[in-house]
């Protein structure tokens, strides 16, 4: 981020807030985590019941790659085996090879284009690869089949938020639609509260956090979210000349 020298200190404060913001973005349970360049540091911030995410460690990726290659070989030798394509896709995903995972999911989709879960998974892995416009198309295809899938709509919202340039207004609109369908949908409440913080809609963010607490009183991320809201409010009060009323650019997350 480039600013005049007089604003460097202010920008540093804002960047610190943005890093914290993205560390707690909620990735839906049973969805692969969003990963793109510089996005690996948040894995340990996920909810405790979140599924395993691909490793950023090169040695771990190297260890997992032979199993992925073996699964890929089996899938290629039996190209009409739908389950084999999915197994290879998952193995490559866990090894951090997203493009290979996309390849095998695409093969699976060609075999069973009506399979809803495969369509959603394609959105998930495209997001993991940082290809958010492609992910959007797959999430929209999924929602065309099942418009009340709040998990898919929440993930669609993140594709707007995570892309460059970020489109938080579109993300917020999708999260609002999700909450019209399920007012207690935790991922949508979580992410909407954060996006409202970043767009400086602090009063509504606080209201959404109250709804989140009502939906899940034991939700472990609530204290962290409230802390982020206080930081955001403080940063806004202390730095009115920078970004007031404007969207802050994103830092990718896991």
| b/e 55-75 (16+ beta carbons within 10 angstroms → b) | beeeeebeebbeebbebbeeb
Q: 86: how many CB neighbours lie within 10 A of its CB? A: 22
Residue 74 has pLDDT above 50, yes or no: yes
Residue found by looking up tokens 């295809």 in the block: 141
pLDDT band at 15 (very low <50, low <70, confident <90, very high): very low
CA gap 250, 36 in Å, rounded: 12
Q: Measure the CA angle with vertex 115, ends 112 and 121; round to 5°.
A: 110
Whole-number pLDDT of residue 241: 30
Residue 118 has pLDDT above 60, yes or no: yes
Average pLDDT, the chain: 79
Whole-number pLDDT of residue 237: 62
Provide, rounded to the nearest whole percent, the portion of the chain with pLDDT above 70: 70
Range name among 33-42, 160-169, 225-234, 244-253 with the lowest pLDDT average? 244-253
| b/e 211-241 (16+ beta carbons within 10 angstroms → b) | ebeebeeebebbeebeebbebbbebbeebee
Whole-number pLDDT of residue 58: 73
Is residue 43 a contact partner of residue 67, using CB atoms and an 8 Å limit? no
In the chain, count of helices (H) and strands (E)? 11, 0
Residues in the chain: 254
Whole-number pLDDT of residue 28: 58
CA gap 74, 68 in Å, rounded: 10
Whole-number pLDDT of residue 127: 94
pLDDT band at 108 (very low <50, low <70, confident <90, very high): very high
Give mean pLDDT, residues 43-69.
63
Longest dimension (CA), the chain: 63
Provide, rounded to the nearest whole percent, the portion of the chain with pLDDT above 90: 67
Residue 153 has pLDDT above 70, yes or no: yes
pLDDT band at 33 (very low <50, low <70, confident <90, very high): very low
Range name among 128-132, 155-159, 173-177, 244-248 with the lowest pLDDT average? 244-248
Tokens of 29: 């349970």
Is residue 175 exposed (0-12), middle (13-18) or buried (19+ Cβ within 10 Å)? buried
CA atoms within 13 A on the CB side of 113: 2
CA gap 61, 74 in Å, rounded: 20
CA atoms within 13 A on the CB side of 50: 23
Strand extents, DSSP E, the chain: none
pLDDT band at 62 (very low <50, low <70, confident <90, very high): confident
């Amino acid at each position: 981020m480039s600013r005049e020298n007089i604003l460097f200190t202010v920008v540093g404060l804002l960047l610190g807030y943005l890093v914290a913001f993205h560390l707690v973005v909620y990735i839906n349970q049973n969805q692969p985590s969003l990963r793109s360049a510089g996005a690996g540091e948040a894995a340990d911030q996920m909810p405790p019941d979140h599924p395993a995410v691909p490793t950023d460690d090169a040695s771990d990726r190297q260890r997992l790659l032979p199993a992925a290659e073996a699964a890929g070989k089996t899938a290629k030798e039996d190209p009409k085996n739908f389950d084999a394509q999915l197994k290879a896709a998952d193995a490559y995903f866990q090894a951090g090879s997203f493009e290979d995972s996309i390849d095998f999911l695409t093969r699976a989709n060609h075999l069973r284009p009506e399979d809803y879960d495969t369509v959603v998974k394609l959105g998930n892995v495209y997001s993991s690869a940082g290809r958010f416009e492609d992910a959007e198309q797959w999430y929209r295809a999924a929602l065309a089949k099942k418009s009340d899938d709040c998990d898919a709509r929440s993930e669609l919202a993140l594709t707007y938020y995570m892309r460059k340039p970020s489109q938080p207004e579109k993300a917020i609109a999708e999260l609002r639609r999700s909450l019209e369908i399920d007012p207690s949908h935790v991922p949508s409440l979580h992410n909407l509260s954060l996006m409202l913080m970043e767009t400086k809609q602090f009063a509504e963010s606080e209201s959404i956090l109250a709804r989140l607490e009502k939906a899940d009183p034991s939700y472990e991320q609530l204290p962290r979210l409230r802390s982020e809201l206080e930081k955001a409010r403080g940063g806004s009060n202390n730095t009115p000349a920078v970004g007031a009323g404007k969207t802050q650019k994103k830092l990718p997350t896991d």
